[in-house]
Structure 1
Amino acid sequence: MSVPSYGPESGSAADPHNAALYAKLTRRIVPFLFLAFVVAYIDRVNVSFAKLQMLSDLSLSETVYGAGAGIFFVGYFFFEVPSNLILNRVGARRWIARIMVTWAIVSALTMFVSGPTSFYVMRFLLGVAEAGFSPGILLYLSNWFPSTRRSQIIALFMTAIPVSGAIGGPLSGWLMAHFAGTYGLAGWRWLFVVEGLGSLAVGIAAFFVLHDRIDNVRWLNADEKSRLAADLARDASTRTETSARGAFASKRVWLLGLLYFCIAMGNYGLAFWVPTIIKASGVASVSNIGWLSAVPSLISAVAMVLIARHADRHDERRVHVAVCCAIGALGLLASVLFASNVAVSIAALIIAAIGINSIAPVFWGIPTALLGGAGAAAGIAVINCTGNLAGFVSPFIVGRLSDLSGGKLLPGMLAIAVALLIGAAIVLRMPLRRASASAASAPNSSIPQRT
């Protein structure tokens, strides 16, 4: 398959003379968004560590845990699109700060869960509070970085997922072990309140750190603002301008949502069950489980940046997504098939994490390059919330199959692996094309360019 080159004639975003400009943008924008995503993801999946104590304390079954872990995404689904449309109207600075402060409060209040009903309610409210965060950040990045640089920028941002695992695992294990019994509260209750307070601090800071418009920043000079605006305008000319209604009616948007559903099945199969897989290999201490869970996360953080950079360099994303789906599926299966051997199981989890965590940054380079106008906010939100329904389906299926099979993880991981392989098949058959910058500038041109 031929791949197009992006020389200066097709967009100065690829001009080496712009390297300093985009390095400055990266330093100024990405680190804070990375921090925000780290605390968001820790609050989203810290229930996987709380599970190690909470289930016995509250007499909850694996099915109840799976449903509670997943019901987060029901609230997320219903409020995702409205949240992203509001963000597009009022600006990222205000809305992302609002999202973070709200979810921090809900996360901390999860410490008061006392049974299945309150567990379900708090997880649902957490999803409502966080709805719009991830697609809002993706939309925000598309307003600062052209598509020829976006996969690697998204990858830098999304390394927060494995890094949150590397930080959240040891932190969660330490909190649960060392705060257990303090003021008469179980360790898992302290886990929710302490990590929730961290999100609250970052959420307040977001209001003062983020900027909605290029014109509003003081750290770019007039020439840099002019060059950036020109790059973004050139990039916007390659997208299909659509309305919010047009995004809802687009078959391509819904097919991308289905693809992302398969990808997210793998994401949350990994996120919600890694501690359980490690425990099944014979590791009993929650602190040791936390430290071991950090290993796949750290290694995959490096891999996902390298893979996304390779995808950007070759302007090719379909094969990258498909290969990573297959690697993730095989790694997950191997981690439970060889669960009796700690070293082999951890090695398999590393492979699974490299594959699964590397998919999303490359995948999001596709819709952000294809969609423009008001439809970008709606389309990205539709894709994200449709895909994130897997956040409910994935843990529920694994939990249910585990209960039905007498506590075995293999049936659930097999279901996750099948979903990833279906995703690989979908992306390889998708006709993903966008107009080239030069073609888009010609009124009668219809020359497509591969994504």
Structure 2
Amino acid sequence: MTDRTIDMPDRQEVDATFRKVAWRLVPILMLAYVLAFIDRGNVGFAKLQFMGDLHFSEATFGLGGGLFYLGYSVFEIPSNLWLARIGARTTLLRIMICWGLCSAALAFMTAPSHYYILRFLLGAAEAGLFPGVLFYLTTWIPPSRRSQFTALFMSAIAISGIVSGPLSGAILGATDGLLGLKGWQWLFLIEGLPSALTGIVIYLVLADSPQTAKWLSARELGIITGELQSEANTGQQQRQHHFAAALRDKRLYLLAGMSVGLIAGGAGIPLWLPTILRGTGIRDSFTIGLLSAIPYIIAVVVQQLVARSSDRLRERRWHAAVPTLLCAFCWMLLPQAMSHPWMAVSLLTVMTAGYLGATGPFWTMPSLYLSGSAAAGGIALITTCGGIGAFFAPTLVGWMTTATGSLTYGLYAYGAIMALGAVVMLVGTRPNGSATATAQPHEGELRLAAKQRVDV
């Protein structure tokens, strides 16, 4: 046993280490999130067939669409706090197997009660996935790099939209009547069961922390640990470390207000996008699927550009608020575009790009104020509030659509919710000495602060 001091790594070596981390972690986490969004949003495409087969009303559809988020919200905080104790691998294994089976079971619903129960259970099964991954990334990635990692992970939302639309449209058209099952039944089966299998793959591939990652060298582990420690020390004074203390910080609730607008408005896109496109006069399911991919193709590029700008300027508030307000504006313009298919597709594209553009910067903000168990519980609380908003929004929109015979007022409601959330966040998290230390540019390059002990 000998002691040896590892020399200071240069920026290229640090960048190379985190690129290695990105290639190891992000693809498998993105796959999980792609499948999650396909399974939570494919009901919007299945709706094109099962509404007539099962004689569901728009109010029934909206309530079931929202119940997913109620189940998600009820179990999100317990799931994320449990993740901090048992690790990401076991948590994601449990989440993905349960939600995959719940999604596939929707193929056999015959009554509104079945739809309600399974959508609630689907949300309960998936609870903790998103905040759990955000918390997991805080144990690997320092704040100065986190927005890009977060946006890269969340590009899975756009990828799911690119894949899900054409895939769902093709399944609906190609499998209807196969082996006595409707196309919408095959849709749930084909898109649900792979999620359960992916959970097993994630369990085998992921490491719970850098310290348990066998694929990291001792020097790479030292670089990651040093970067995390260096930036943790920079922001140590303004962070809450315990969940109980975090609950007394008003910024937590203001971020939750933004979460309500962002999650509710964003969740409405896959839920109602196929209906909006059919409302413009398009009838073919496969064409609707192809057109629904266009907004996500543009949005995935915008998402990464906004995240890079946010990291480069070390600014989060406006990078989150401006795209959200743009999305809100497009929601409100959609009723005027319903008779013009390409105008509707254009607005849906800008709207989707705005929603996804805001995600990277916004979901980096909670970790600016929270760390330790407060980060796990605080992020889950913020997303739980967003989930509650996402429950009420489609329920309200479905009721208004049934009552008025038009989706117009529902589209206005989505826009208003998103705009209000952005304003609340901007007003409540104004820059000051205690809140935005990480928003200011660091002077010089970050370096390892301590010696690394190596066993030889």
Question: Could you tell me the TM-score, scaled by structure 2's length?
Answer: 0.90
SS in 1 for 2:315: coil
For 1:265 and 1:106, how far apart are their aligned partners in 2?
22
Q: CA deviation at 1:218?
A: 2.6
SS in 2 for 1:241: coil
Q: Where do residues 408-423 of structure 1 align in structure 2 (5 Å cutoff)?
A: 408-423=406-421
Aligned to 2:453: none
Q: CA deviation at 1:14?
A: 10
Aligned pair count?
A: 428
For 2:17 and 2:68, how far apart are their aligned partners in 1?
39
SS in 2 for 1:27: helix
Aligned to 2:323: 324
State whether residues 106 and 125 of structure 1, in contact with CA within 8 Å, keep that contact through their aligned partners in structure 2: yes
State whether residues 331 and 350 of structure 1, in contact with CA within 8 Å, keep that contact through their aligned partners in structure 2: no
* 2:400 is the counterpart of 1:401: yes
> Percent identical across equivalent pairs?
39
State whether residues 254 and 425 of structure 2, in contact with CA within 8 Å, keep that contact through their aligned partners in structure 1: no
Selected match of 2:108 from 105, 112, 117? 112
Q: CA deviation at 1:235?
A: 2.3
Q: CA deviation at 1:436?
A: 5.5
- Compare 235-244 and 360-369 and name the one that shifted more: 235-244
State whether residues 334 and 345 of structure 1, in contact with CA within 8 Å, keep that contact through their aligned partners in structure 2: no
What are structure 1's unaligned runs of at least 5 residues?
1-11, 441-451
Q: CA deviation at 1:258?
A: 1.4
Aligned to 2:346: 347
What are structure 2's unaligned runs of at least 5 residues?
1-7, 443-456
Q: CA deviation at 1:427?
A: 2.0
SS in 2 for 1:159: helix
For 2:44 and 2:354, how far apart are their aligned partners in 1?
21
Q: CA deviation at 1:338?
A: 1.1
Aligned to 2:299: 300
Q: CA deviation at 1:74?
A: 1.1
State whether residues 268 and 394 of structure 1, in contact with CA within 8 Å, keep that contact through their aligned partners in structure 2: no
State whether residues 13 and 149 of structure 1, in contact with CA within 8 Å, keep that contact through their aligned partners in structure 2: no
The AA in structure 2 aligned to 1:19 is: D
For 1:360 and 1:437, how far apart are their aligned partners in 2?
17
The AA in structure 1 aligned to 2:278 is: K
SS in 1 for 2:247: helix
Aligned to 1:388: 387
State whether residues 169 and 289 of structure 2, in contact with CA within 8 Å, keep that contact through their aligned partners in structure 1: yes
Offset from partner CA, 1:134-180 (integer Å, 9 cap, x none): 10011011111111111111101001111101101111111111111
* 2:135 is the counterpart of 1:135: no
Aligned to 2:153: 157
* 2:310 is the counterpart of 1:314: no
The AA in structure 2 aligned to 1:283 is: I
Aligned to 2:119: 123
For 1:309 and 1:220, how far apart are their aligned partners in 2?
26
For 2:312 and 2:336, how far apart are their aligned partners in 1?
36
State whether residues 234 and 437 of structure 1, in contact with CA within 8 Å, keep that contact through their aligned partners in structure 2: no
For 1:36 and 1:293, how far apart are their aligned partners in 2?
21
Aligned to 1:59: 55
State whether residues 269 and 413 of structure 1, in contact with CA within 8 Å, keep that contact through their aligned partners in structure 2: no
The AA in structure 1 aligned to 2:166 is: P
Aligned to 2:247: 248
The AA in structure 2 aligned to 1:423 is: G
Q: Where do residues 218-367 of structure 1 align in structure 2 (5 Å cutoff)?
A: 218-237=214-233, 238-239=235-236, 240-367=239-366
For 1:17 and 1:206, how far apart are their aligned partners in 2?
28
The AA in structure 2 aligned to 1:249 is: R
Q: CA deviation at 1:129?
A: 0.7
- CA gap of 1:74–1:14, structure 2 versus 1, over 3 A, is farther
State whether residues 314 and 438 of structure 2, in contact with CA within 8 Å, keep that contact through their aligned partners in structure 1: no
Q: Where do residues 45-84 of structure 1 align in structure 2 (5 Å cutoff)?
A: 45-84=41-80
CA RMSD of aligned residues (A): 1.9
For 1:330 and 1:353, how far apart are their aligned partners in 2?
12
Selected match of 2:178 from 162, 165, 182? 182
Offset from partner CA, 1:15-44 (integer Å, 9 cap, x none): 454211111111111111011100011001
For 1:368 and 1:405, how far apart are their aligned partners in 2?
43
State whether residues 240 and 246 of structure 2, in contact with CA within 8 Å, keep that contact through their aligned partners in structure 1: no
